[in-house]
């Protein structure tokens, strides 16, 4: 059965101490009242991975980095490889986030290298896609997003593709307080699932967890998650407050 996933993306927020405290608070709330059938992931800064892994019940909560290097190792000052992320006990890596594409020039070519290294090292990529506002206004968002998939994850073997989690994040909704309507989210998720079915078959499409991201919060998660093709969320701002995050986890 398709998994429900709620993943936090802390972005460039929290000091090490604050991050560990946040992780512990989430861990405590989940052990008390977290929905048992939801896979929970915390996407922390690189510097926090090892400490967060040590501070939580990793059988219940997964840990993700928000990026990894496009090279396996070597003279790449400042980079953190997929093998390094894996060695912290983290199981996931967020790849293709629009902020990485826009501010750090991550192209499909770079993302394909990162995807391959993540998978080789046994990390589960949480692969992000989504359109900017001008594309949404032009009404070509479905073509735009499917093209992002065709250039990257649709190049993977079926065996590797099945290991992914996909997050649809309309760029105009990220951190803006503007959320896609349930109709807009469902339309895109259904289009993504149909494209997966065309490429890898209906069974693979049916099993794939498709998360929504973009100003998803404790108030609107319930409505968004009620869509048949929305299998959870990638949560930015609202994942920085344990009380809000647990409400999102329990929003089904």
Handedness of CA 3, 252, 250, 35 (dihedral sign): negative
- Asked if 45 is part of the footprint of ligand PGA (rule: CB under 6 A), the reply reads no
Closest residue by Cα to residue 179 from 191, 187, 170, 167: 170
- Asked if 106 is part of the footprint of ligand PGA (rule: CB under 6 A), the reply reads no
- Asked if 216 is part of the footprint of ligand PGA (rule: CB under 6 A), the reply reads yes
- Asked if 169 is part of the footprint of ligand PGA (rule: CB under 6 A), the reply reads yes
* 97 is a catalytic site residue: yes
* 150 is a catalytic site residue: no
- Asked if 123 is part of the footprint of ligand PGA (rule: CB under 6 A), the reply reads no
Q: What does the alpha-carbon distance between residue 248 and residue 252 come to, in Å, rounded to a whole number?
A: 8
Using DSSP, state whether 57 is helix, strand or coil: coil
Residue number, nearest CB to ligand PGA: 236
* Run of H or E including 12: none
Closer CB to ligand PGA, residue 179 or residue 200? Answer: 179
x/- mask, ligand PGA, residues 171-210, rule CB under 6 A, reads: ---xx-----------------------------------
**Is 77 buried (19+), middle (13-18) or exposed (0-12) by CB count in 10 A?**
exposed
- Asked if 22 is part of the footprint of ligand PGA (rule: CB under 6 A), the reply reads no
Cβ-contact 238, 212 below 8 angstroms = no
Closer CB to ligand PGA, residue 8 or residue 205? Answer: 8
With CB under 6 A as the contact rule, which of the stretches 27-35, 70-78, 150-158, 169-177 interacts with ligand PGA?
169-177
With CB under 6 A as the contact rule, which of the stretches 101-109, 111-119, 192-200, 229-237 interacts with ligand PGA?
229-237
Closest residue by Cα to residue 118 from 149, 151, 89, 85: 85
Tell the smallest beta-carbon distance from residue 77 to ligand PGA (Å).
27
Q: What does the alpha-carbon distance between residue 214 and residue 233 come to, in Å, rounded to a whole number?
A: 9
Measured between alpha carbons, how far is residue 248 from residues 214, 216, 220 in Å?
13, 8, 9
- Asked if 234 is part of the footprint of ligand PGA (rule: CB under 6 A), the reply reads yes
- Asked if 44 is part of the footprint of ligand PGA (rule: CB under 6 A), the reply reads no
CA distance from start to end of the chain: 16
Which residues of the shown chain bind ligand PGA in the complex (CB under 6 A)? Answer: 9, 169, 174-175, 213-216, 234-238
Active site residues: 97, 169
């Amino acid at each position: 059965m398709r998994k429900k996933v709620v993943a936090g993306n802390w972005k460039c927020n929290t000091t090490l101490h604050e991050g560990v405290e946040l992780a512990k608070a989430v861990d405590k709330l989940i052990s008390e009242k977290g929905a048992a059938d939801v896979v929970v992931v915390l996407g922390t800064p690189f510097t926090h991975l090892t400490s967060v892994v040590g501070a939580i019940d990793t059988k219940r909560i997964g840990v993700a980095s928000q990026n990894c290097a496009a090279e396996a190792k070597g003279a790449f000052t400042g980079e953190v490889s997929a093998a390094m992320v894996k060695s912290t006990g983290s199981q996931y890596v967020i790849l293709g986030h629009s902020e990485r594409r826009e501010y750090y020039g991550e192209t499909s070519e770079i993302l394909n290298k990162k995807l391959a290294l993540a998978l080789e090292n046994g990390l589960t990529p949480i692969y992000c896609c989504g359109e900017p506002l001008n594309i949404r206004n032009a009404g070509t968002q479905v073509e735009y997003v499917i093209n992002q998939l065709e250039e990257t994850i649709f190049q993977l073997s079926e065996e590797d593709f099945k290991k992914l989690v996909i997050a649809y994040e309309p760029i105009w909704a990220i951190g803006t307080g503007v959320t896609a309507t349930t109709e807009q989210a469902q339309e895109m998720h259904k289009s993504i699932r149909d494209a997966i079915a065309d490429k890898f078959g209906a069974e693979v499409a049916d099993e794939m967890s498709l998360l929504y991201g973009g100003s998803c919060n404790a108030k609107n998660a319930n409505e968004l998650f009620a869509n048949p093709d929305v299998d959870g969320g990638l949560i930015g701002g609202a994942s920085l407050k344990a009380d809000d995050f647990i409400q999102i986890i329990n929003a089904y």
